[in-house]
Chain A
């Protein structure tokens, strides 16, 4: 029992150690750290929206229409970022808008990611005819004009949050499929997969227990990058009027309605746009950090680059001669 417990403890220790080193690595890369902090803030904003938003996002106040932000001479502390054409508080709408972006992003990544990964696993593991058919399907669908297909589907079945999620998933699963299949093909060649097969593991067991864990880090990086792309896609669809519909709130929708007031109220398009940009920027920062950390080749390159940059500045020479 004690041996078992000891093993468990050391396992926990190791995990804690890994988490700690991951955190240290994150701290060293300031951009990645900033991105993570921003995402954490965004998550908090989405979850705690009713607590931190000063007004209801849909409460209209027709006497206070198109109020500028607080630092303008006509602004008031009651509406920090001003109000829109119906007197709704821009700040509250920006806060609530984060919910839609994150919800759509997470759902699409989950649905498209699962579907793509499963098809990729099947194609890569089964090979032969199955592989051919799936890859043909992917090649064909990749060449579709995605946005227009999304628009025509939404025009026919009617835009709503659920249809937006479905359409974006339909358009976005192929990347996961391609990547998973490629990775499976290379992992299949390894000795331990062969060993598992010889021992008599069932096909699902080989795929799920022995192959899939190898794909975690590239899939995670891909999913994060896709998340950023989906946030932008949802915003674009909502901006075009084919995404989230009022009275629901979405950043893209707010930019679209602010578009009619470009000459009088710059703040209506500016703030939701900043919210989208910061969200996507934060995700991109985390993704590029993750790519560097999880790819040994990139890590080496990064290290070499740092060293050569330092050498050019002459610090290495001094460091070397110091002791």
Chain B
């Protein structure tokens, strides 16, 4: 058990190292950071000064050493756009991204279980077929477009909800729903299929035969056994939410989290801030992966982790 987690932790370190090296190679070797970050009309002296400030006049291995040294202190340098440490900005924005991701995926998880169970109780029935069809549509609709449609309907037409921003709890509603929808579609499908598998097992018949009430058989015995793939997928959805959905949803609703900041950093050619964001998100992904492993062990103590 302990060894397993050490191994996972080690894998996480490799992933973070890989992302860091990739980002370093992309920004320093593939592209010319000076060209990206300085305006076109910058003079030769300005370029030289800028290179010196970022240490870009050093040979590449010295640059890498400096980069890794800075990283060990979580210091990526100052954001070109806001003129303050990039990590400071990241830590300001991080809670907003986490809030939206957890709310959205939480909502999807909570809704997917009853919907999936209803579907699984009568596979091929009307409610099942409509659930499957709606999920398929949900998987096919681009998330950013879903968000814009919700804005058109609920903010522009009916004027019930605000379009964007974070001032009141009402501002949370549309972004949360948008965040939840694709995850919900996938989760419903997996709850459905693993519940169908469980309900066909012999022990379910035994449970009914010994006179357990319906809700206990389905809601406790079968659901518990069906939960492992569901938890796996929820973890993946959380990873997707933090590493992908957040950029899209935050851009649509002007939600000032890490995702929107990443897009703004690109618009302002601020590679330093962008590096800090990519690094932070990679660390988050690794942490969620490790938390998922802990969750497995709690749900199914029989699991031998290796």
Contacts and interface: CB of A to CB of B under 8 A. Distances in A.
Contacts of B145: 255, 269, 273, 276-277
Contact of A277 (B142, B243, B244): B142
Contact of A143 (B125, B278, B286): B286
Nearest to B136: A284
Contacts, number: 148
B233 to A, nearest CB: 15
Interface string B113-143: 0000000000111000000000011011111
A305 B121 CA distance: 12
Interface string B4-45: 000000011011001100110011001101001000000000
Most buried by A among B12, B139, B277: B139
Interface string B269-297: 10100110110011001100100000000
A305 B152 contact: no
A77 interface: no
Contacts of A151: 247, 262-263, 266, 274
A47 interface: no
A178 B267 CA distance: 36
B142 A152 contact: no
B142 A155 contact: no
Contact of B27 (A144, A152, A235, A241): A152
Contact of B19 (A144, A155, A309): A144
Interface stretch (A52-60, A195-203, A214-222, A259-267): A259-267
A288 interface: yes
Interface residues of A, number: 46
A141 interface: yes
A284 B143 contact: no
B102 interface: no
Nearest to A231: B142
B140 A273 contact: no
Most buried by B among A148, A239, A280: A148
Contacts of B281: 145, 148
A156 B19 contact: no
- Chain A at the B interface: SS class: helix
B151 interface: yes
B110 interface: no
A285 to B, nearest CB: 7
A140 interface: yes
A140 B140 contact: no
B140 A309 contact: no
A139 interface: yes
A240 interface: yes
A309 B125 contact: yes
Interface in A135-179: 136, 139-141, 143-149, 151-153, 155-157
B144 interface: yes
A252 interface: yes
B149 interface: yes
A270 B151 CA distance: 12
Most buried by B among A144, A228, A270: A144
A155 B262 CA distance: 11
B136 A148 contact: no
Contacts of A236: 142-144, 248
Interface string A277-292: 1101100110010000
B23 A141 contact: no
A281 B243 contact: no
Contact of A152 (B18, B26, B125): B26
A252 B281 CA distance: 25
A243 B103 CA distance: 29
Contacts of A252: 142, 144
16 contacts: A140-B11, A140-B14, A140-B18, A143-B289, A144-B19, A145-B243, A151-B266, A152-B23, A155-B271, A157-B30, A239-B248, A255-B144, A273-B142, A280-B139, A284-B140, A305-B123
Given A151-B266, A270-B149, A273-B148, 19 more contacts: A145-B19, A145-B278, A148-B281, A151-B247, A152-B23, A152-B274, A156-B271, A236-B142, A236-B143, A240-B263, A255-B144, A262-B163, A277-B137, A278-B140, A281-B136, A281-B140, A285-B136, A305-B123, A306-B124
Interface pairs A-B: 10 shortest CB-CB: A156-B31, A145-B243, A273-B145, A281-B140, A280-B140, A309-B124, A147-B244, A143-B15, A145-B281, A277-B141
Interface of B: 11-12, 14-15, 18-19, 22-23, 26-27, 30-31, 33, 36, 123-125, 136-137, 139-145, 148-149, 151-152, 156, 163, 242-244, 247-248, 251-252, 262-263, 266-267, 269, 271, 274-275, 277-278, 281-282, 285-286, 289
